Amino acid sequence: MAVLTISASLPAQSSPPQKFAFFLGLYMIALGAGGIKPCVSSFGADQFDDTDPLERPQKGSFFNWFYFSINAGSLMSGTILVYIQDNYGWGLGFGIPTLFMALAIGNFFIGSGIYRFQKPGGSPIIRVCQVIVAAFRKWRVQLPDDKALLYEVPGKNSAIEGSRKLDHTNELRFLDKAAIITPSDAKSKTSDIPSHGDYALLLKWRN
C-alpha cells in the first residue's frame, strides 16, 4: 500500500520508474492479500476453546464481527474512498487505507504475546481422503446403530498430534463406515484405521 500510495502521489507521467512502482504495489497487495485471507479467520478461531462453554459463544461472536468488518470495509472502499480519490486525489485515497493498514499491523504485533498458537497436526486433506477411501471400500458393510462399536482411539486426545477429537455429528453418517473394523482390518495395524471422529474432518473442511 505504501508503494502504491507513493506511486499515486507523484506527478502524472508515464515514466518507466513510476509504472514499475505502480505495478509493483499492485502485485505486492495481491500477494499479501492471498497470503493473509486464508489464514486470518482460522487464526482468530484458534483463540477460542470449543470445549469451554464460555468461549464457544465468543467464537461465534468473533466471526460475526469479522465478516461485518470485512463488508463494512468493502462498502467504505467502494463509496467514501472512491469519492476522496475523485475529488482530492489518488494519493490521499490510497494514503488513508495505508495508514489504517499500518495501525492494524502494529496492533497485531502488540498483542502477539497473548495469542494462542495451535500446533499443526498434518494436512487435513490427507485425513479427509483416507476417510473417503476407507468408507467407499466398505460401502457394502452394514453400519451399526451403536456408534460405540466403531473404532476409536482411547483417551480424550486425537491420534493426530496437536489436535483434539471432533464431536460426532449425524451428518454424513456414511463416512462412519471408515471406522468399522472388518476381518481384513484385524490383520493390519489398528492405528491405520480412520477413527470414529476422523470423518468429522470432512464436515469441518467443507465448512
Residue 71 neighbours by CB under 8 Å, 6+ apart: none
Report the distance separating Cα 184 and Cα 181, nearest Å.
Answer: 8
Parse the chain into domains and list their residue ranges.
2-114, 124-206
The beta-carbon contacts of 94-103 under 8 Å, at least 24 apart in sequence, are 94/1, 94/4, 94/5, 94/8, 95/5, 95/9, 97/1, 98/1, 98/2, 98/4, 98/5, 101/1
Question: Do residues 179 and 135 lie in contact, with contact meaning Cβ atoms separated by under 8 Å?
Answer: no
In the prediction, which pLDDT does 203 show?
Answer: 39
Question: In this structure, which amino acid lies at residue 186?
Answer: A
Residues of the chain scoring pLDDT < 70: 12-14, 120-122, 154-169, 183-207
Question: At a CB cut-off of 8 Å and minimum separation 6, what does 172 contact?
Answer: 199, 202, 203
Q: What is the pLDDT of residue 133?
A: 86
Task: Indicate yes or no: pTM above 0.75.
Answer: no
What are the b/e assignments for 153-169, b being 16+ CB within 10 Å?
beeeebbbeebebbeee
